[in-house]
Chain A
Amino acid sequence: MTTSSPPARIWRELRSAWAITKKDARIYYLRPGSIMFGILFPLFLFISFAIGRDLPAGVLVPGLMAISVFFAASSIGPMAVPTERKTKTYERMITAPVSPLSILVGEIVGGAIFGAIIAAIPLIIGIVFYGTLIVNPIGLIGVLVLVSFAFSAMGIMFAAIPTDNPGDVMMILNFIRLPLLFISGIFIPVSAMGMYGAVALISPLTYAKDMIQYVLTGTGYYGPFTDVIGMLIFTGIFLWIGVRLHERNRKSG
């Protein structure tokens, strides 16, 4: 089977994408920027929200998991891509026989795995300290895969900003991420937002939090069908825009 045959080509692209994922895991998971923006920042944000409020674990744990996966998964791409532009290692991937889509998929999966690992921390805390029960464990795995992939794709989309300084991307990304926290039913449930609840629909974090809550507790605001469709639409948008922006950057050389 030569690389000219479609199955061989797809297999080859998948292997290359996986190599990029492994490389990101080795290099970027323990970088200060990833730990700061991916773990500490959302953790302190949530603690400041939760302290002094007698919230049930069924609200606390899904909210913290959603924030964790949101920040962690969307932080790896904006760390990795500008850094690699600076060191010119991104060019190494572009000059290799790997399609632009595979490069981005590799980067996205790298962020997604990081997001899923970080999301497991509040879940373990919930299970150990709050006695959280998982109503649908298989569903939880599926939800984490979908949600972390979507948010990592969002990070990669922002990583298309043509700069070689990760701080520049993080600044713009936080300008979007922080307002989303307040309209996504994390701090104030969508049901309590009244007429402003409609705003929640434009945030991917809304569906992520609702899905996580559904698989953990068996109840959600929108229901699994709407959540999955919403999440898939956002994933598609992030990928579509991300691939085009990165390709435009490459063509403009």
Chain B
Amino acid sequence: MNAISVNNLTRDYGTLRAVDHISFEVESGEFFGFLGPNGAGKTTTIRMLTGLSEPSEGTASIMGCDITRDAFHAKEHFGIVPEVSNIYEDLSAWNNLMFAGELYGLSQPERTRRARELLEIFDLTGFRDKKAQGFSKGMRRKLTLAMALIHEPEILFLDEPTSGLDVQSSLLLKEILSRLNREGTTIFLTTHMLEEANTLCNRVAIIVKGRLAAVDAPEKLKKTIQTTQSVEVSLDSMTSQVTADLTAIKTVTSSRHEGDKFRLFTPDPAVVATAIFEYAQAHRLKIISINTVGPSLEDAFLSIVQRQGDSRTEGRP
């Protein structure tokens, strides 16, 4: 059975169509990424799927339960971690978890057991009786995730879960999400962090201006823009003359600075790499690093977003 089925889902706000007849399916046990630029319709979609708003057209179901007609049973199957950590600041971590457990109909012994487990997993046991208002951003995020997991849901919706977190908290969260997924939880993740989607997701959907532009595995999406290969080089001297010379190498189509590195896009990385070695030798420059780089998910994303944006602009009267 599909964990999530979306069929022609549409949402209008007055004359603005925020989500435009999107259809996709998420299989049970899948780690599914939902990507798109700001205002593309990601949050609107997640809000419809979780019952926070209703579709203007189309249907969606969670574990076979229609989100509109059988909302009660649909909601039993998922937990949600919204973009904002929605915890009760005036309650302790323990009481937040107890409240979440009660909302999901857990008995007293069940919610006590789960709360203890989750506090342990998220390293919050020492803070169980502390009011959440004194918690750091990372701790709030962990408590929000713990509350979403209190009823051991089959599906977990996450809206930008690592946004604003420090590296350590972000890594811990990703590790926990990976483990949950390995243990069978279906994960629906919206994120701006494409590297996060690239490493975590089995498949990603890209939504642009309310329409689905692509749904596929990250590697397959990258292959669709295989022409976007590049050579990334760092020399001990990167003057404007040097970068101009490198950009003038035959077969280089474009270039850009990336920190202390210079990236040259080309359909033939071997030719460019050889030319760089020759140039460095001739000008007595030291190569600090040189790598050939395939297209990233970010490249694929940008290419798809641009294509979709162009086609929609062209399609307009």
Contacts and interface: CB of A to CB of B under 8 A. Distances in A.
Interface stretch (B21-29, B101-109, B204-212, B232-240): B101-109
A125 to B, nearest CB: 30
Interface string A81-106: 00000011101111111110000000
Contact of B82 (A15, A23, A88, A97): A88
Interface stretch (B83-91, B213-221, B251-259, B301-309): B83-91
Interface in A4-60: 4, 9, 12, 15-16, 18-20, 22-23, 26-27
A96 B104 contact: yes
B76 A97 contact: yes
Chain A binding surface, main DSSP class: helix
Contacts of A244: none
B146 interface: no
Interface string B23-58: 000000000000000000000100110111110000
Interface in B110-141: none
A3 interface: yes
Given A27-B88, A97-B72, A16 B103 contact: yes
Given A3-B105, A87-B86, A88-B86, A19 B47 contact: no
Interface string B63-106: 00000000011011010101010111111000100011011110
Given A3-B105, A87-B86, A26 B91 contact: yes
B113 to A, nearest CB: 18
B76 A253 contact: no
B103 A96 contact: yes
B82 A19 contact: no
Nearest to A96: B103
Nearest to B89: A87
A246 to B, nearest CB: 13
A250 B105 contact: no
B103 A98 contact: yes
Interface residues of A, number: 29
Contacts of B90: 26-27
Interface in A188-218: none
A88 B85 CA distance: 8
A146 B175 CA distance: 52
A77 to B, nearest CB: 17
Interface residues of B, number: 32
B88 A96 contact: no
Contacts of A251: 53-54
B88 A95 contact: no
Residue from A12, A15, A22, A96 whose CB has the most chain B CB atoms within 10 Å = A96
A3 B102 contact: no
Given A26-B91, A97-B73, A91 B103 contact: no
B203 interface: no
Nearest to A88: B86
Interface string A214-253: 0000000000000000000000000000000000001111
Contacts of B54: 250-251, 253
Contacts of A94: 51-52
A19 B89 contact: no
Contacts of B105: 3, 12, 15-16, 97
Nearest to A99: B72
Contacts of A18: 102
Contacts of B80: 95
B90 to A, nearest CB: 5
A92 B86 contact: yes
B102 A19 contact: yes
A89 B50 CA distance: 14
Residue from B11, B44, B72, B147 whose CB has the most chain A CB atoms within 10 Å = B72
B103 to A, nearest CB: 4
Contacts of A23: 88, 91, 99
B72 A89 contact: no
Nearest to A100: B71
A91 B144 CA distance: 13
8 contacts: A23-B99, A88-B86, A89-B88, A91-B82, A97-B103, A97-B104, A250-B52, A250-B53
- Sorted nearest first, the 9 A-B pairs with minimum C-beta distance are A253-B53, A19-B102, A88-B86, A96-B103, A97-B75, A251-B54, A97-B76, A27-B90, A95-B50
Given A3-B76, A4-B73, A9-B72, 7 more contacts: A12-B105, A88-B86, A89-B87, A89-B88, A95-B52, A95-B75, A95-B80
